[in-house]
Every structure is written in C-alpha cells, then in structure tokens.
C-alpha cells in the first residue's frame, strides 16, 4: 500500500455536469470547514476545472469522465472518499477499491449512512448526507466567489438557448420572440452556450433580428461564462448550468423546466421564477424532443415573469 501524502487527501466523486456541481456546493463547503487540513479533490469532467476555484472549497480536479473507467488513484492514497455521485454499486464500487480510511455516503452494502430518499431537492440531499455523518452543512450555502474577470464584464440580459438534452430545449422560435421583445425595449441581449450550441444561438439571434455580435456561445471558458452570469441583469435559461450560475450569483432569472421537477432542481429563494406545467411532465431526461411540461411554457409566460422580476 502506498505511503499517505504529507497532507491527507479527500476525494469527492461527482462525475457529472455543471448544474450537478453547483447544487453540491453546500456539501463541498461543509467538507472544507470540517477537514481544513485535507487536500480536497473533485472527480469529474475536465471542462469543469475553471469553476472549481470559485467554490472556495476544492483544491484540485481529478479528471474523470463518468464511471465507465476506474478512478486513476492507487489504493490507500485517499484518506476520505465521499460519494456525491449517487448510491449505486457503480459509484460505491469505484470508491471502495481505493481503500480509504473513511467512506462517506448513503446507506448500502458496506456503507454506513442515511437511507436514500426520492423527491428531495439536490442541495438538501447532499447537505443532509454530510450532516448525518456529523459534518454540519447548510443547503443554502450555495454562493460562488466572484470570477476575477467579472469587473470587466458588461451587464446584459443573458439568454441561454441550449441544454444538454433535447428534453430541455425550449423551441428556438420562442427564444427569438422573447429576445426580440426585450431588445425592443432597449435591453442589451447576449446569447450564451457551448461550442456545440453556437449554431442554435446564431439562429435564434438572427430570427430575433440581432447580429452575430450578440452571440458569445462557444467563445468562452467556463470562468468567463460565470463572469457574464455574475453581472447579468437577467438570465433566461432552461434548467441547466446557466440557471444554477444565476442562483449562485443571485442574479434575476427565469428558468424553464421540463423533465426535472422544480421541487428537486429548482432555484433557491431569491429573484428567480421557475416556469413549467408539472401536470404535463413526462420526466424522460434523455428524450430527444422537448418535454410537454416545457412546451407548455409560452413566450407570454416568460415575458410576464420578466416583468415581475423588474430586472430591466
């Protein structure tokens, strides 16, 4: 067994996306407070690296693309392993083979912890898990530090037209209608997204009568994207990373929900309005077409929500 490093290591497994990271921030902060002398590493996809310093809780990223490959660490290298990924045999097994001194997770074969409960908000789930293990965590301790570039970022209305799955894609023509209306009253609109979402963002901007200069999708690192959100007048987005960043910086937001229930993934108290029709929710995250609960949200609904926020 390899010799433990001079600074003990704590590994957090959550090999998921940006929104998943942001709802786990209260848990990460609790771990930082409880284990100030440990080096905390977060096992997830490499593209998340720029955002981790803003949590104030993580020392380094351990690149890991899902659970289909072993965690690239030697047994005995980790002092404490924390499962914030789930509670199934795949995530638990990946951590067990590391032979840490302590395992923190939900109850299961070989694991001591609270039972898994359905219908719990994600921030509350992971904060509650740590509290059960004697590590006090506040689910409302979700704020991020300001990105260094934020001071040089203009205040805009951010419209994030993309999402990871088709089930969360609000129709492009509706985004265009909203953008056109907001631009007509003088709001400076900016379209954000990933590189793969840039064609959709350009198409929405064109349909709204706005130029390509309003589109930064695919042009920003994650920390620069966070800087834009941190100073936004308003954020309009599906239930995706942009919406969670708006929550992390308390920026007014209108969040469009489809397959995911607001009760489990919705924004915290603050200047945020979640729009959906839960009675129509199909709930298939991986469906290629928009969830009926999302399609039930109209352009008029979004504009009315913008008016209520009085963010312009």
Q: What is the pLDDT of residue 152?
A: 82
Q: What is the pLDDT of residue 176?
A: 98
Q: What is the pLDDT of residue 283?
A: 96
167/284 same-domain check: yes
Average per-residue pLDDT in the chain? 96
34/183 same-domain check: no
Q: Is the residue at 139 inside a domain?
A: no
Contact 30, 36 (CB under 8 A): no
DSSP secondary-structure letter at 114?
P
71/160 same-domain check: no
Q: What is the pLDDT of residue 182?
A: 98
* Per-residue tokens: 68: 């289909």
DSSP secondary-structure letter at 83?
E
Q: What is the pLDDT of residue 150?
A: 81
- Reported as a pLDDT band with limits 50, 70 and 90, residue 2 is very low
- Reported as a pLDDT band with limits 50, 70 and 90, residue 5 is low
159/304 same-domain check: yes
Q: What is the pLDDT of residue 6?
A: 82
DSSP secondary-structure letter at 98?
T
Last residue of a domain, one of 132, 163, 197: 132
pLDDT surpassing 60 at residue 4: no
Model confidence pLDDT, tens digit, residues 271-297? 999 999 999 999 999 999 999 999 999
> Residue 164: which of 64, 17, 7 has the closest Cα?
17
287/184 same-domain check: yes
216/287 same-domain check: yes
* Per-residue tokens: 287: 């469906």
Q: What is the pLDDT of residue 32?
A: 98
Section 8-24 average pLDDT = 97
Section 153-182 average pLDDT = 96
Section 167-185 average pLDDT = 98
Last residue of a domain, one of 104, 132, 160: 132
Q: How many residues does the chain have?
A: 312
Q: Is the residue at 49 inside a domain?
A: yes
> Residue 220: which of 142, 160, 174, 143 has the closest Cα?
160
Q: Is the residue at 2 inside a domain?
A: no
DSSP secondary-structure letter at 310?
T
15/126 same-domain check: yes
Distance CA 9, CA 75 (A): 12
161/126 same-domain check: no
Q: How many domains does the chain have?
A: 2
Model confidence pLDDT, tens digit, residues 207-244? 999 999 999 999 999 999 999 999 999 999 999 999 99
14 lies in which domain range?
9-132
Q: Is the residue at 137 inside a domain?
A: no
Q: Is the residue at 1 inside a domain?
A: no
Q: What percent of the chain has pLDDT over 70?
A: 98
Model confidence pLDDT, tens digit, residues 68-109? 999 999 999 999 999 999 999 999 999 999 999 999 999 999
158/300 same-domain check: yes
pLDDT surpassing 90 at residue 162: yes
CATH number of the domain within which 264 lies: 3.40.50.2000
Q: Is the residue at 146 inside a domain?
A: no
166/117 same-domain check: no
Alpha-carbon dihedral of residues 235, 186, 224, 252, nearest 10 degrees? -30
> Reduced to 3 states, what is the DSSP secondary structure of residue 55?
helix
Q: Is the residue at 73 inside a domain?
A: yes
pLDDT surpassing 90 at residue 311: no
Last residue of a domain, one of 75, 98, 132: 132
Distance CA 312, CA 310 (A): 6
123/198 same-domain check: no
Q: What is the pLDDT of residue 1?
A: 40
Q: Is the residue at 157 inside a domain?
A: yes
Contact 203, 225 (CB under 8 A): no
69/178 same-domain check: no
Give the start-end residues of each E strand in 151-283. Answer: 157-160, 189-192, 234-238, 253-256, 272-275
Distance CA 204, CA 191 (A): 9
3-state DSSP helix/strand/coil % of the chain, to nearest 5: 40, 15, 45
């Amino acid at each position: 067994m390899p010799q433990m490093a001079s600074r003990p290591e704590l590994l957090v497994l959550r090999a998921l996306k940006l929104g998943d990271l942001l709802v786990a921030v209260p848990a990460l902060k609790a771990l930082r407070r409880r284990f100030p002398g440990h080096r905390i590493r977060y096992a997830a996809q490499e593209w998340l690296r720029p955002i981790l310093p803003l949590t104030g809780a993580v020392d380094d990223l351990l690149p890991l693309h899902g659970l289909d490959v072993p965690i690239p660490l030697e047994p005995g290298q980790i002092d404490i392993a924390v499962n914030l990924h789930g509670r199934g045999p795949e995530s638990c097994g990946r951590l067990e083979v590391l032979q840490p001194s302590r395992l923190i997770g939900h109850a299961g074969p070989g694991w001591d912890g609270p039972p898994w409960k359905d219908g719990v908000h994600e921030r509350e789930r992971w904060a509650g898990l740590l509290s059960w293990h004697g590590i006090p965590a506040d689910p409302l301790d979700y704020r991020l530090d300001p990105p260094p570039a934020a001071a040089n970022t203009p205040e805009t209305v951010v419209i994030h037209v993309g999402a990871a799955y088709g089930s969360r894609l609000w129709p492009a023509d509706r985004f265009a209608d909203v953008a056109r209306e907001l631009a007509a009253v003088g709001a400076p609109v900016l379209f954000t997204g990933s590189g793969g979402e840039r064609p959709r963002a350009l198409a929405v901007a064109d349909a709204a009568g706005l130029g390509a200069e309003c589109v930064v999708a695919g042009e920003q690192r994650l920390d620069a994207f966070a800087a834009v959100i941190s100073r936004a007048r308003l954020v309009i987005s599906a239930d995706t990373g942009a919406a969670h960043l708006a929550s992390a910086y308390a920026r007014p937001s209108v969040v469009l929900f489809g397959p995911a229930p607001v009760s489990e993934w919705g924004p915290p108290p603050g200047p945020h309005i979640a729009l959906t029709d839960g009675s129509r929710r199909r709930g298939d995250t991986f469906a290629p077409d928009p969830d009926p609960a999302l399609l039930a949200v109209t352009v008029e609904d979004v504009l009315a929500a913008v008016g209520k926020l009085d963010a312009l």
